[in-house]
A and B are shown apart, each in its own frame.
Chain A
Amino acid sequence: MAYSDKVLDHYENPRNVGSLDKNDPQVGTGMVGAPACGDVMKLMIKVNDDGIIEDAKFKTYGCGSAIASSSLVTEWLKGRTIDEAYAIKNSEIAEELALPPVKIHCSVLAEDAIKAAVADIKAKQAAKESA
C-alpha cells in the first residue's frame, strides 16, 4: 500500500499524542471504533469558557491512515470553536491527507471522534448549567 507523504509524516511524527484529564469539566472525550474492526480512536478536547478549543490530544489504534487522520484533526481543532469543530467534514480530512478510497473510513472515524468529543463537552456543560 502506498501512503501519501502527509500520511507518512503524521505516522512518523504524530502530533498531540496523549490524554487530558477526562474528569475535568472543560474536557470532552470521544472514543469511536472497535478493536475487532481494527480502528479505535480516542480524541480529547479542552474547551475554555469562550467555547474555544485550547488543547486537543489523541490516541489511535489503527492503520497509518487512521493515525494520520486523528493526528491531523488535533492540529485543526486547536483555536476553533466547538461549533466550527463540529462542522469539520471527513472529506476535508481525506483530501488533505490524499487518502485512497479504501482508507476513507479512517477520515469518517476521525469526524465521528470530533462529533463524539463535542457531544461529550456539551453534555458536561448542560449538566453544569442544570446543577
Chain B
Amino acid sequence: MSASIEMPVLNNHDDGHPIYLDYSATTPVDPRVAEKMIPYITEHFGNPASRSHPYGWTAEKAVENAREEVAKLVGADPREIVWTSGATESNNLAIKGAANFYSAKGKHIITVQTEHKAVIDAVRELERQGYEATYLQPEPNGLIDLEKFKAAIRPDTVLASVMFVNNEIGVIQDITAIGNICRANNVIFHVDAAQATGKVKIDLETLPVDLMSFCAHKTYGPKGIGALYVRRKPRIRIEAQMHGGGHERGMRSGTLATHQIVGMGEAFRIAREEMDTENERIRFLRDKLLHGLQEIEEVYVNGDLEHRVPHNLNISFNYVEGESLIMAVKGIAVSSGSACTSASLEPSYVLRALGRSDELAHSSIRFSIGRFTTEEDIDYTIKLMKSKIGKLRELSPLWEMFQDGVDISKVEWAAH
C-alpha cells in the first residue's frame, strides 16, 4: 500500500512547536493504522451486525480479524475480547459488571491509591451503592507489598483491581503474584492494562487474571476504541452496563465502530511484531535522558526504576516551583505533577500516595517516550532542562538556602 498518509512533525525544534514527550497521555495514530482504517469509513461502511448482505459480511470479517489481532497480542482467545469505547469504559464494565454479578458472594473490593481515576471512581460509585472498598497504599517505590495485599483480603472480598503499568510513574506491578493470591482466595482479579500493551509482554494464557482492560490510543491506534478481556475458562460473568441490541454476546450493546476496531487491530498487530525492537530503542533513549538529567543536582526519580517500562521517566526537580517549571518547559510537551487549576496547584495524587512531599510532587515532570521520539529530541530536552532548572534555581531562595547548608524542613515559615 502506498503511504499516502504521512507522519505529522512531532519534533520540530525551531518553529515553536513543542517536542512531543507525552506518549503516556496519548500517541499519534501510526500512519499504517490510519491507512488501514480509511476504507472502513467510506467503502466498507456496512454494519457488522447486518447478516443479510455482503456490506455487513465484509465489516464483520474486518471486526473479527481485528479481534484476533487484539487477542494475539495478549495471549487470549478472540471470544474473550469484548469491544468497548476505551479503557475507561472497560474499567467501568469490568468493575461494576463483576461486582454487580457476584454481589451475593460479598461486597468488598480492593484496589490501589495509585490507580487511574477510571478505576478509583468506578469503585467509589460502588461504595455509594453499598459496597466497601480498601484503597491500598503502595510502597514508596510505587509497587504493592504482596503481604499487605494479602492482609487486605476479607471473606467478603469479591473483586480486586490493580493496574499493570502505572500511567504516571510507569511502574510494573507483579500481576502474576497478585493474581495467584486472588486465585487462592477466590477473588476476581481485574487488571487495567491501558498503559501496558506493546510495552510489556502479556500472556493471558498463563497470567492469573480474570478481566483486563485495553485501549487503542496509547498504542498508536485511534481514540474512542478499547476492549475488555473476559476470561472463559473458568468463565467470568459480568452484568452489562450498556443495554440494547445484545452486541458482544450481551455484554456491551451498541453498533460496532468498524473503522476504530480495524485501527485497534492493526495497532496491536504492529505492537506484537515490533515491540521487542521498539522497546530496546526506547530504553536507549530513556537511559540517555535519565543520565542527562541526573547530571542536574537534587533530582529524584519517582517510582521504581527497575520494575518500570522504559517509556516513562517521572522526575522531581527539587527547589523549583511547579507552575514556574511548567512555564519554563514550553519547548517540550510533557505532563506535570501539578495540575494547574484556576484556583490552586493540586499535586499529583499518585506522587502523594508514594509519600512524596507537596513540594517534590509539585516540581515533577513526566517524560514519556514513544515510537517517533528521536535521539535529537532527547538531546534537546536535556539541554533545555539543564538551562531552565539552572535559571529557576538561581532565582530560588530555597536553592540558596540549600547551598548554604540550611535544612529547609526545619525552618519555621510564616504561614500566609
Contacts and interface: CB of A to CB of B under 8 A. Distances in A.
Given A35-B398, A62-B321, A11 B362 contact: no
Contacts of B396: 40, 59-61
B416 A40 contact: no
A102 B397 contact: no
A17 B395 contact: yes
A13 to B, nearest CB: 11
A64 B322 CA distance: 10
Contacts of A32: 414, 416
Interface string B314-343: 000001111110010000000000001011
Contacts of A48: none
Interface residues of A, number: 31
A53 to B, nearest CB: 19
Interface string A36-75: 1111111000000000000000011111101100000000
Interface residues of B, number: 27
A61 B416 contact: no
SS class, residues of chain A in contact with chain B: mixed
Contacts of A42: 397, 400
B394 interface: yes
A59 B400 contact: yes
Interface in A14-45: 14, 17, 19, 31-42
B210 to A, nearest CB: 43
Given A59-B400, A63-B321, A36 B358 contact: yes
Nearest to A41: B397
B408 interface: yes
Contact of A35 (B323, B342, B395, B408): B408
A109 interface: yes
Contacts of B397: 31, 40-42, 59-61
A61 B396 CA distance: 5
Nearest to B338: A38
A93 to B, nearest CB: 16
A3 B323 CA distance: 12
A37 B342 CA distance: 15
A105 B343 CA distance: 11
Given A37-B415, A67-B395, 20 more contacts: A1-B340, A32-B414, A32-B416, A33-B414, A34-B413, A35-B398, A35-B413, A36-B359, A36-B413, A39-B416, A40-B396, A42-B400, A59-B397, A59-B400, A61-B320, A61-B321, A62-B321, A63-B324, A64-B327, A102-B342
Nearest 4 pairs of A and B residues by beta carbon? A34-B413, A63-B323, A42-B397, A59-B397
Interface of A: 1, 3, 11, 14, 17, 19, 31-42, 59-64, 66-67, 102, 105, 108-109, 112
